[in-house]
Structure 1
Amino acid sequence: MKKILGPMRKAIEDFNLIDDGDKIGVGVSGGKDSMLLLYALKLYQRFSPEKFELEAFTVDLGFEGFETKAIESYCESIGVPFNLKKTNIKNIVFDTRKEKNPCSLCANMRRGAIHNSLKDRGFNKLALGHHGDDAIDTFFLSLLYEGRINTLPPLTYLDRKKIYIIRPLLYVSEQDIKNSIEKNNIPIVNNPCPADKKTKREDMNKLVHKIYKEVPDARNRILTALNNEKGLRLWFS
């Protein structure tokens, strides 16, 4: 876990992601990123200079075959309280509205459900499992499909909800997450969504990996650029 905890601790310190007395909820979908983040934050909690509470929050979208019991059992095994929010998001998005591009509406509804769950429990921060490769994919998605320069921020404040969104894994690679999941026997819950792996983000991930093969050290240089405010040179600068 050194390749996870070291970069995570650096991100927490660089971006001031955790304060003493925080009540942090981890958004746990059951996928590798969120399950690894939950375990990493539990380990970090033991030696963190800031004292904080930690609980897991899962949103059940209503798909058949979503095994929330596996998530709950893992949370119990590492001593993290588990919160489950059942919703009918699947029925609204896929059955009633029959969205051709369901991901945007589903994501918005899912975010609303988990934000409300945190507020109900009195939590002030939501930790999400986005890693460095997610940040790069988001950068290229925004650049190529939206015509703007944008990526996943380490820290965001939602004024309406009075909640901070933190992303402690932005210095961590997806490959290191996969390796740590295997080495630490962390269970993964399959995503039953029919749109899984069929999105623009998945296509962008494949395109970015082609760049990695063609350009040595491209991944690290892109991440450096995303955190290099002084190096930003645009027409309006």
Structure 2
Amino acid sequence: MQKLLSKARQAIKEFNLIEENDKIALGLSGGKDSLTLLHILKRYQQFSPEKFDLIAITLNPGAGADFSPLRTLCEELDVPFYEIETNIIDIVFEKRNEKNPCSLCANLRRGALNDHAKKLGCTKVALGHHKDDALETFMLSLCYEGRINCFSPKSYMHKNDITLIRPMVYIEEHEIKRAVKDYNFPVIQNPCPVNGKTKREDMKILIKDLNTKIPGFKKSLFSSLNNSEQLFIWDHDSIKNS
């Protein structure tokens, strides 16, 4: 856990993710990532030079999942816990019957989380995206959208007047899995019907395969996300006028 905390602290400092008197809502899904982030932020809060408040918000998607273990955990950690009832699964899979449901589901969850965080007086929302999530998002954008794009460690949402932060962007997924096993975090089974059957999962497999065939591929791919000064793209105006 100390190694994870060190990497999170690096991201927090480099991207100025936490500021004095912030009230941070952590999106606690009950998955391995959000549970690990909960423990990281709670420990960081104990020695952080910036004083901040931390709460946890769990969105119940309406699939009958039992989130009581999360409430118990938050009570043990002295983190205020809020469970928000939603009908997201019904909207995505029944009313809309989406063939590619991930985008709509993510938008609905993000909107509900940001809205409730704002209502609870929060200035920021902390999300459990990690280093491998960033690489997969980068590859998804390149392969399916034809653009170079990825989520940012910090994003200001004008609509909600709230800032999203991702303190685990320097932490690899295998490190999170090890922490979950070592500390026996109460992981909640993902109720999504398409869990593990998405294009993101395809990207995870592709990146793993490329890293095997091209040693250091993941390291180079991640370095490119931090190398904005040397980004070369075909800017038609600058090329034809050169």
TM-score of the aligned structures, taking structure 2 as reference length = 0.95
Q: Distance in 1 between matches of 2:63 and 2:192?
A: 7
Q: Supply the AA of the counterpart residue of 1:7.
A: K
Q: Distance in 1 between matches of 2:146 and 2:97?
A: 28
SS, match of residue 126 in structure 1:
strand
Q: Equivalences for 1:42-191 in 2 at 5 Å?
A: 42-64=42-64, 66-191=65-190
Q: Supply the AA of the counterpart residue of 1:124.
A: T
Offset of residue 77 of structure 1? 1.5
Residue 33 of structure 1 corresponds to 33
Q: Distance in 2 between matches of 1:191 and 1:45?
A: 28
Offset of residue 7 of structure 1? 0.8
Q: Supply the AA of the counterpart residue of 2:33.
A: D
How far does the alpha carbon of each residue in 1:42-81 deviate from its partner, in whole angstroms, 9 at most, with x for none?
00000111100001011011012x1210111111111111
Residue 24 of structure 2 corresponds to 24
Offset of residue 233 of structure 1? 1.7
Q: Distance in 1 between matches of 2:229 and 2:98?
A: 42
Residue 220 of structure 2 corresponds to 221
Runs of 4+ that moved beyond 6 A: none
Residue 7 of structure 2 corresponds to 7
SS, match of residue 157 in structure 1:
strand
Offset of residue 97 of structure 1? 2.1
SS, match of residue 208 in structure 1:
helix
Q: Supply the AA of the counterpart residue of 1:117.
A: H
Q: Supply the AA of the counterpart residue of 2:91.
A: I
Offset of residue 3 of structure 1? 2.0
Q: Distance in 2 between matches of 1:120 and 1:9?
A: 28
Pick the structure with greater CA Rg.
Answer: 2
Deviating more after overlay: 161-170 vs 212-221? 212-221
SS, match of residue 168 in structure 2:
coil
SS, match of residue 9 in structure 1:
helix
Q: Distance in 2 between matches of 1:145 and 1:98?
A: 22
Q: Distance in 2 between matches of 1:78 and 1:67?
A: 19
Kindly report the root-mean-square deviation, in angstroms, between the aligned alpha carbons of the 2 structures: 1.1
Question: What is the identity percentage for the equivalent residue pairs of Structure 1 and Structure 2?
Answer: 49
SS, match of residue 148 in structure 2:
coil
Contact 1:21–1:50 at 8 Å: present in 2 too? yes
Offset of residue 219 of structure 1? 1.6
Contact 1:3–1:172 at 8 Å: present in 2 too? no
How far does the alpha carbon of each residue in 1:82-123 deviate from its partner, in whole angstroms, 9 at most, with x for none?
011101111122122222222111111111111111011000
Contact 1:133–1:174 at 8 Å: present in 2 too? yes
Q: Supply the AA of the counterpart residue of 1:10.
A: Q
Offset of residue 177 of structure 1? 0.5
